[in-house]
Amino acid sequence: MQRCPNCDAELESPLGCAACQRIFDPPEGLSPFELLGLPQAFALDEAHLRRRVLRLGRLVHPDFFGNAPAQERELAERNSARLNRAHELLADPVERANWFVTALGGPAENEQRSMPQAFLAEVLEWNELLEEARAAPAGSGLRERLEALASTLAAERARGLKSIAAHLAPLPERGSLLLRELRTQLNALRYVDRALSEIESLSLARASLR
């Protein structure tokens, strides 16, 4: 654990010191885990993460630097943005897994777009239903079928995340072939998330039509 150069208290995060309220300018390129002072592991307690972000937010938010010199105000802006970005990357398990795959030297999202073979057949069927719903949002029986699809997708998501979590603990070695497999699974999860959000917007659109 690092210590505060100002008051020598133990530092929870390189963004600032809770003991003396100083904020620092950490080097670029720190991982989101390092910025938040959390162990670098896929498994993460979401409530713990949220409380950590709120606590650090109280330390670095520009609101508390309204009277500070311009340079310090800008640093507060930057540190808050770094904090919020780190939170965003870690709060959602799909984003978190994505971060690990990229950070461990695996293929980026736009470098490998493949999805698991077994998944593709289902995707075709699901796309057909979504297409139909897009064309006629108030179509008969659509609501039930979309709701059924949403629960299938939610189950698929949970299953996929479990598999990814198992592959990420312990973390694979840098550049391991396993990362290609993880990217394929993540692509499937990205599809699931997009489809779920589309179902949600279709249901909102239907609610407004009524």
Partner 1 sequence: MGYIELNVLNAPATTPSTLALGIDLGTTNSLAAIWKDGRPVVLHPEGKSGLVPSVIHFPPDGMPIVGREARDHAVADPRHVIFSIKRFMGRGLADMRPELASLPYQASESDNGLIQLEVQGRKYTPEQLSALILMRVHDLACRALGGQDVRKCVITVPAYFDDTQRQATRDAARLAGLEVLRIVNEPTAASLAYGLDQRDKGNVAVFDLGGGTFDVTVLTIEDSVFRVLSTAGDTHLGGDDFDQLLAGLARAELGPLYGDELLGDPGFQQAIRLGAEQCKIALTNDPEAELRVVIPAKRISWRRRIEREEFEALCAPLVERTISACRQALSDAKLEPGEIDEVVLVGGATRMPCVRERVQRFFGRKPHTELNPDEVVALGAAVQANILMGGRRDMLLMDVTPLSLGVETMGGAVSKIIQRNSTIPCEATEGFTTYVDNQTGLDFHIVQGERELAHDCRSLGRFQLKGIPPMPAGMARVAVKFHIDADGVLTVGAKELGTGKSAVVEIQPMHGLTDAEVERMLKEGFAHAREDFDQRRAADLKIEIGTMVRATESNLNAGRAGLDRESVHDLEEAMEHAKQACSGSDLKALQKARDEFERATLPLAALLMNNVAQKALMGRKLGDV
Q: Footprint of partner 1 on this chain (CB under 8 A)?
A: 50-51, 54, 57-58, 61-64, 66-67, 77-78, 80-82, 84-85, 87-88, 200, 204, 207-208
Nearer Cβ to partner 1, position 104 or 202?
202
Nearer Cβ to partner 1, position 177 or 204?
204
Least distance from C-beta 36 to partner 1, angstroms?
A: 14
What amino acid is encoded at 194 in this protein?
Answer: R
* Cβ atoms of 22 and 4 closer than 8 Å: yes
Least distance from C-beta 201 to partner 1, angstroms?
A: 8
Give the number of other Cβ atoms within 10 Å of residue 122's Cβ: 15
Nearer Cβ to partner 1, position 173 or 200?
200
What amino acid is encoded at 119 in this protein?
Answer: F
The secondary structure of residue 16, as a DSSP letter, is: B
Residue 27: phi and psi, rounded to 5, are -65, 150
Residue 7: phi and psi, rounded to 5, are -120, 0
How far is the C-alpha of 29 from the C-alpha of 140, rounded, in Å? 52
Peptide bond into 69 cis (omega under 30): no
Nearer Cβ to partner 1, position 34 or 122?
34
The secondary structure of residue 18, as a DSSP letter, is: T
Least distance from C-beta 10 to partner 1, angstroms?
A: 21
Least distance from C-beta 178 to partner 1, angstroms?
A: 26
Least distance from C-beta 121 to partner 1, angstroms?
A: 27
* Cβ atoms of 82 and 57 closer than 8 Å: no
Nearer Cβ to partner 1, position 60 or 101?
60
Nearer Cβ to partner 1, position 79 or 167?
79
| Measured CA distances, 155 to 148, 152, 162, 193, 200 (Å) | 11, 5, 11, 12, 16
* Cβ atoms of 88 and 95 closer than 8 Å: yes
Least distance from C-beta 193 to partner 1, angstroms?
A: 12
